[in-house]
Amino acid sequence: MNNRIYNIFNAFSPKEQKSKILHKILNQRDSRTYGATKKNQYFYGWKSLLRAVVACALCLFIMAGVFMFRGGNTFNVYAYGDNIQITDTGVQLSTGVIRDGGEMQGQLMQMYIKGENIDAIRFSCKNQYIDFTDWTESRSNFSMEKQFTVPYGKKTSDYGLLVVNWNPKNTISQLTNTANSSIKNLSKELRNDIIVMEVNFLNGSKQTKSIDITLDDNGKISAKVQDYIISKNDDFVLNSKKSLPQQLKNNSEEEFKNNTPKYSQTQIQDVKLIVKKYYSKFSGNHEIVKIEYTEDIRSINYMIPDKYKDSDIMAFKAYERSMYPNISRTIIFAKEKGNNDWIVINEGY
């Protein structure tokens, strides 16, 4: 069939007519081919565009997921020194130990927070006391408190330098001042404690956690973090002043009988020399590395025997090497009326 068409075409004359026919045929074929190519280009170009749009959407979704995960409200508690996370399964800390006689080595429990988007945390301690040290030196420090609030903010690099110390002063005093005392014989309140943490995040959401603390028979601390619901009976959280030990309640500002005068720096330094001499026998981990004058003695009024309530009183904090800077000893001096000599009337934790 093709040969017949070819023969008929060759029979045409003149040659110019044949050339026009051939040119027209070729132009029509090229037009059909070009149209098909354009259609294919449009189809495949549309598919490529669709693939690009889907890929971009998927990338944006993944990036948003990563951002939400990384930028979410996170809060975890770590043991300072051990650098291990304290979880709901519990962990025994190895940063410190307390002996039956009240001697303490190291720090029983210090902690810091890892997280993101934390605005502030309010810490409340039920049975003992808590201290706070900001090693960035940009926040207020606290010592021997039942409750305080620590601002955190967006600078997460600060979080690991904001250290909360559990201060078992009541337990140490009981072991130190009681003959033949032992950890096993301590009351439940002196062996167990709770620190409640009310966590406020920058976006307004909140979490409440607790650290449950147990003094084990071997003198070490076990701790675990749990969710916590504050009840109306939690005075140590809702009204921390009501939860102070009775001996401190009875020595409130209104009941404080001792009218201690303001002492000159010369008087303070003279008594401080007596303090240094008193502690000169302490050595090793018990060596006194810092002595601080205590201006407000209301919190230690319970340590002043009644016979000296009307005497001039001066007190100092003394820090042993192994307990600095969180736990101090207290030494109290009295000067009776008509007597120029300062005498030690109490000393201990």
Q: What is the pLDDT of residue 300?
A: 73
The predicted structure's pLDDT at residue 316 = 93
Residue 15 inside a domain? The answer is: yes
For 187-215, write each residue's pLDDT tens digit: 999 999 999 999 999 999 999 999 999 99
The answer to whether residues 282 and 167 belong to one domain is: no
Euclidean distance between CA atoms 214 and 298, whole angstroms: 30
Residue 77: Cβ within 10 Å count: 20
Of 243, 273, 291, which closes a domain? Answer: 243
Residues 97 and 147 in one domain: yes
User: Given this model, what pLDDT does residue 53 score?
Assistant: 62
Q: 248 in a domain, yes or no?
A: no
Same domain, 294 and 342: yes
Residue 201 lies in a domain: yes
Q: Which domain holds residue 298?
A: 265-348
Identify the domain boundary among 18, 48, 70.
70
Residues 183 and 226 in one domain: yes
Same domain, 197 and 269: no
**Alpha carbons 93 and 86: distance in angstroms, whole number:** 9
Q: Name the stretches of the chain with pLDDT < 70.
A: 1-71, 240-261, 299, 302, 326, 349
Residue 251 within any structural domain of the chain: no
The reply to whether 53 and 167 lie within a common domain is no
Q: What is the pLDDT of residue 4?
A: 58
Asked which of 39, 70, 101 is the last residue of a domain, the reply is 70
Number of independent structural domains in the chain: 3
Question: Is there a single domain that holds both residue 299 and residue 235?
Answer: no
Rounded CA-CA distance 244/348 in Å is: 20
Question: DSSP state, 245?
Answer: -
Q: Report the pLDDT value the prediction gives residue 251, as an integer from 0 to 100.
A: 39
pTM of this structure: 0.58
Residue 302 belongs to a domain: yes
Question: What local confidence, expressed as pLDDT, does residue 112 receive?
Answer: 96
Handedness of CA 135, 138, 142, 146 (dihedral sign): negative
Per-residue model confidence (pLDDT) at position 248:
43
pLDDT at res. 62: 59
Q: Which residues does 230 contact at the CB level (< 8 Å), separation at least 6?
A: 196, 198, 208, 237, 238
- Alpha carbons 56 and 234: distance in angstroms, whole number: 53
Exposed/middle/buried for 277, CB within 10 Å: 0-12, 13-18, 19+? exposed
pLDDT reported for residue 66 = 46
Q: Is residue 257 part of a domain?
A: no
Same domain, 302 and 274: yes
Is residue 250 situated within a structural domain?
Answer: no
Say yes or no: 113 and 200 in one domain: yes
* pLDDT at residue 115, as a whole number: 94
Same domain, 11 and 141: no
Q: Please report whether residue 249 resides in a domain.
A: no
Give CA–CA dist 318/140, Å, rounded.
Answer: 21
pLDDT tens digits for range 217-258? 999 999 999 999 999 999 999 986 655 554 444 433 443 444
Structure tokens at 91: 């962990």
Rounded to an integer, what is the distance from CA 130 to the centroid of its chain? 13
Q: Which residues contact 70 (CB under 8 A, 6 or more apart)?
A: 116
The pLDDT assigned to 181 comes to 86
Residue 84 and residue 202 in one domain: yes
45 lies in the same domain as 87: no
